[in-house]
Amino acid sequence: MNLLIELLAFAVAIGVLVVVHEYGHYSVARLCGVKVLRFSIGFGKPLAQWVSPKTGTEWTIAALPLGGYVKMLDERESGPGSIPDADLPRAFNRQSVWRRFAIVAAGPVANFLLAIVLFALVFATGVTEPAAVIAAPAPNTPAALAGFEGGETIVGVRTGHSDETEPVRSWSDLRWKLLAAAFDQQRIVLNAKDAHGTSDFPMDLRAVGEKDVDDDLMSRLGFEPGGGKLTVAGVQAGSAAQKAGLVEGDRLRAINGTPADNAAAFIAYVKSHAGVPVTLRVERGGRGGHAAGALEDITIVPQLQRDAASGQQIGRIGAELATQVPSIDVRYGPLESLRLGARRTWDLAVYSVRMFGRMVVGEASLKNLSGPVTIADYAGKSARLGPSAFLSFLALVSISLGVLNLLPIPVLDGGHLLYYLVEAVTGKVVSDRWQLVFQRAGLACIVALSAIALFNDLARLIHF
Q: What is the pLDDT of residues 314-335, one digit of tens each?
A: 899 999 988 888 888 888 889 9
Say yes or no: 233 and 217 in one domain: no
The Cα–Cα gap between 339 and 208 comes to 28
Say yes or no: 184 and 297 in one domain: no
Distance of CA 74 to the CA centre of its chain: 38
Say yes or no: 424 and 362 in one domain: yes
Cα–Cα separations (whole angstroms), residue 248 to 45, 183, 215, 252: 57, 44, 33, 11
Residue 22 is predicted with a pLDDT of 93
Q: Which of 3-17, 175-189, 416-430, 449-463 has the highest mean pLDDT?
A: 416-430
- Closest to 388 in 3D by CA, of 130, 128, 168: 128
- Report the predicted TM-score, pTM, of the whole model to 2 decimal places: 0.76
- Degrees (nearest 5) of the Cα angle 115, 117, 122? 95
Average pLDDT over residues 333-356: 88
Say yes or no: 354 and 306 in one domain: no
Residue 412 is predicted with a pLDDT of 86
Look at residue 306 and tell me if it is in a domain: yes
Neighbour tally for 228: CB within 10 Å: 24
> Does the pLDDT of residue 462 top 70, yes or no?
no
> Which residues, 6 or more positions from 444, have their beta carbon under 8 angstroms from its beta carbon?
none
Say yes or no: 261 and 382 in one domain: no
Average pLDDT over residues 96-104: 94
Look at residue 55 and tell me if it is in a domain: no
- Closest to 341 in 3D by CA, of 169, 181, 115, 138: 115
Dihedral sign for Cα 142, 341, 16, 400, please.
negative
Average pLDDT over residues 415-439: 85
Give the percent of the chain with pLDDT over 90: 26
Average pLDDT over residues 84-95: 87
Say yes or no: 288 and 348 in one domain: no
- Closest to 246 in 3D by CA, of 255, 228, 234: 234
The Cα–Cα gap between 187 and 203 comes to 6
Beta strands (DSSP E) in 312-374 are 313-316, 319-324, 327-330
> Which residues, 6 or more positions from 453, have their beta carbon under 8 angstroms from its beta carbon?
369, 370, 371, 374
Residue 186's domain spans which residues? 142-221
Residue 51 is predicted with a pLDDT of 92
Identity of the amino acid at 455: F
Say how many Å lie between the first and final Cα of the chain, rounded: 26
> Does the pLDDT of residue 151 top 90, yes or no?
no
Q: Of all helices (H) and strands (E), which one includes residue 397?
A: helix 387-406
Say yes or no: 217 and 244 in one domain: no
Say yes or no: 354 and 394 in one domain: yes
> Does the pLDDT of residue 218 top 80, yes or no?
yes
> Does the pLDDT of residue 265 top 70, yes or no?
yes
Last residue of a domain, one of 293, 323, 353: 323
Average pLDDT over residues 412-428: 89
Residue 381 is predicted with a pLDDT of 66
Please identify every residue annotated as catalytic: 22
Say yes or no: 340 and 437 in one domain: yes
Contact criterion met (CB below 8 Å) for 152 and 133: yes
pLDDT digits (tens, 9 = 90+) for 134-143: 888 888 888 8
Neighbour tally for 437: CB within 10 Å: 12
> Which residues, 6 or more positions from 129, have their beta carbon under 8 angstroms from its beta carbon?
170, 171, 172, 173, 327, 328, 330
Residue 366 is predicted with a pLDDT of 63
Residue 136 is predicted with a pLDDT of 84
453 vs 265, more confident: 265
Identity of the amino acid at 200: D
pLDDT digits (tens, 9 = 90+) for 348-370: 888 888 777 777 766 666 666 66
Say yes or no: 348 and 412 in one domain: yes
Average pLDDT over residues 151-169: 85
Last residue of a domain, one of 203, 221, 239: 221
Average pLDDT over residues 58-74: 87
28 vs 264, more confident: 28
Give me the number of domains the chain comprises.
3
Say yes or no: 303 and 341 in one domain: no
Residue 429 is predicted with a pLDDT of 83
> Which residues, 6 or more positions from 445, have their beta carbon under 8 angstroms from its beta carbon?
409
Q: What is the CATH number for 217?
A: 2.30.42.10
Residue 104: phi and psi, rounded to 5, are: -70, -40
Say yes or no: 340 and 445 in one domain: yes
The Cα–Cα gap between 239 and 214 comes to 36
Indicate the pLDDT class of residue 191, thresholds 50, 70 and 90. Answer: very high
Indicate the pLDDT class of residue 427, thresholds 50, 70 and 90. Answer: confident
Residue 2 is predicted with a pLDDT of 60
> Which residues, 6 or more positions from 246, have their beta carbon under 8 angstroms from its beta carbon?
232, 235, 280, 282, 298, 300, 317, 319
> Does the pLDDT of residue 460 top 70, yes or no?
no
Residue 156 is predicted with a pLDDT of 92
The Cα–Cα gap between 191 and 324 comes to 25
Average pLDDT over residues 61-68: 82
| Lowest-confidence segment of 56-60, 86-90, 309-313, 333-337 by average pLDDT | 309-313
CB-facing half-sphere around the CA of 26: CA atoms within 13 A? 21
Look at residue 431 and tell me if it is in a domain: yes
Look at residue 459 and tell me if it is in a domain: yes
Residue 300 is predicted with a pLDDT of 93
Last residue of a domain, one of 189, 221, 253: 221
The Cα–Cα gap between 141 and 150 comes to 13
Residue 463 is predicted with a pLDDT of 47
Buried b / exposed e across 248-260, counting CB within 10 Å, b at 16+?
Answer: ebbbbbbbeebbb
- Could you give the maximum distance between any two Cα atoms of the chain, in Å? 93
Identity of the amino acid at 285: G
Q: What is the mean pLDDT of the chain?
A: 84
> Does the pLDDT of residue 24 top 90, yes or no?
yes
| Lowest-confidence segment of 77-81, 303-307, 389-393, 428-432 by average pLDDT | 77-81
